[in-house]
Amino acid sequence: MCGIIGYVGNKEAKQILINGLLRLEYRGYDSAGIATVSPDNVLNIVKNKGRIKDLMENKNIDSLKGTVGIGHTRWATHGIPSETNSHPHVDQDKLFTVVHNGIIENYALLKDMLIKAGYNFYSQTDTEVVPNLINYNLKKEKDQSLESVLHAIKVTCDELEGSYALEILSPLIPNYLIVTRRNSPLIIGSGHGENYVSSDIPAILSYTNNFYLLDNNEYAVITNNSVEFYNESLTKIEKEVRNIAWDMSAAEKEGFDDYMLKEIFEQPKSIRETIGSRLLNGKTNLPDFEISEEKLKEINKIYIIACGTAMHAGLACKRLYEHLLGIETVVEVASEFRYKDPLVDDKTLCIFVSQSGETADTIAALRLAKENGATTIAITNVISSSITREADYTLYTHAGPEIAVASTKAYTAQIILLTILAINLSETLHMNLVLGTQLKQELVEIPSKVEKILSNIEPIKNFASEVYKETDSFFIGRLEDYAAALEGSLKLKEISYIHSEAYPAGELKHGPIALIEDNVTIIGLITNPLTAPKTLSNVEEVLTRGAKALVITNQIVDQSKFDLVYTIPEISEYLSPVLSVIPLQLFAYYISKEKGLDVDKPRNLAKSVTVE
């Protein structure tokens, strides 16, 4: 979850590290710190509890001299947020300082061993064992050269269990930065006379578009003008630099108050670019995905596996897959799938959805599916992320950098790409081509329909100003509307801290209606003509019990019965979540703004969940 940054170059490292941390703050923001090696080979560390702005105001920040440094913004796992528990951490002799993203699962055993060996510990973190263990292992080497330090780091990593991305700095090798990773994200940016390290691409996108990608258990030794790579046996290897064609402006607010609002308004563009050339001459075009008709005919079950918002995107497409392909489709939470001994074999198709491509539970579920012989597809937004290196096939959404913790444009792009994939599979099987043709026609119209919704935000903004003080809300819908209700409820919880739940509308009388009273808001989603009368009746039932009602619909509705009826453009029920979610995103956003909260960085959350 945490964000790490590193720099080796000819400029003062401090400001570059601060700039990177500001861009990584969505990964964690309960404490932060920076370490540099000064020109006279002195290790300097400044860290404190709070956000990056608090670090910038630290009275010691100007003491950070030097052109080599590392930084960290923390999402606490071991130990409360505090200055002591903040990274970077050092060994007792101050020979090594480390920043870490991940969890060291066997840290307690290692810590006990090191204490018995005479080492002292000061924090509650799992990370503090790492620099001390490097120190311990270096004592077994013949000297303190670069080669010996690298070997001590490798021996240390061999002893670690869990996940990590590590940056290691030492006055013993003052012009070098050593990094390694296992099941946590880490990229290296290549510049002119300077090199960068980061958890995510956007943090260093203003400096370079050229990146190296470390695989698990690989090491990089970095100076201002070189990056040398080693495998887990410390054999030198070569890596190609990758050019990532993301525009830096995509990671800036560009006049919007918040990243989340900007990303909501970017959805017409992200949807257009996700569709891109994938619909050509009336057919789908997925050149990176080719599965034979014979292989596809053997598939008897499809899993869509994801977490959080990405899982809701899968739910929105479940019925479409079953209707287009005639194959049972199950949507699973990745953290449940990996422990339930799922029924997966070589006749199973598993689709894994992750915005970052680094979600720990989703990657673990992917590995389990592959072990059982399943065909695997990754859908992600980040080129060469971990999930892409392990799946049989990868399809990229083209949402661009998503900085706000609460996902918006990634969700709609995921639904679009899942839909195109479903149509592609149906074309391969020669099934339900009429429905596929209808959906292809509607797909190309979606961006303009989203733009129409975004041109009419005042009704949602005004309703949010009326109900933002309320403490409970319920989202209801049927079929695809229920999937959108789940996502709308999650958005409201994430950024406004209002208790919110989503239910299939038909379940309202099976318990939840007992909670309906004055000062409760009901949001009803009604886009399917088959179920519209039933859901309307459910919404009317809550009005008699004192609730306020917001109805989002493209059906004919008596607007006088409800507090607000917000009309969205007509669209197939299979694609309706792409449109109905837009007013829900805006509703959550404006409630959060009314409450004076930090929309982009909600409490206790981080953008990418890279630990269990």
Q: Please list the active-site residues.
A: 2, 607
The helix (H) or strand (E) run that includes residue 74 is strand 68-74
Whether the bond into 268 is cis, omega within 30 of 0: no
Q: 55 with 14: CB under 8 angstroms?
A: no
Residue with structure tokens 């990590």? 164
Q: At what angle do helices 308-325 and 433-443 cross, to 10 degrees?
A: 140
What is the rounded radius of gyration, in angstroms, for the C-alpha atoms of the chain?
A: 25
In whole angstroms, give the CA distance from residue 497 to residue 588: 10
In whole angstroms, give the CA distance from residue 106 to residue 114: 13
User: CA of 388: how far to CAs of 313, 392, 395, 431, 583, in Å?
Assistant: 19, 8, 9, 29, 32
In whole angstroms, give the CA distance from residue 220 to residue 236: 10
In whole angstroms, give the CA distance from residue 436 to residue 204: 41
The helix (H) or strand (E) run that includes residue 411 is helix 409-429
Residue 247's identity, in one-letter code, is: D
Please name which of 304, 313, 270 lies closest in space to residue 487, comparing C-alpha atoms. 313
Backbone torsions φ then ψ of 602, nearest 5 degrees: -65, 150
Residue with structure tokens 């989603």? 525
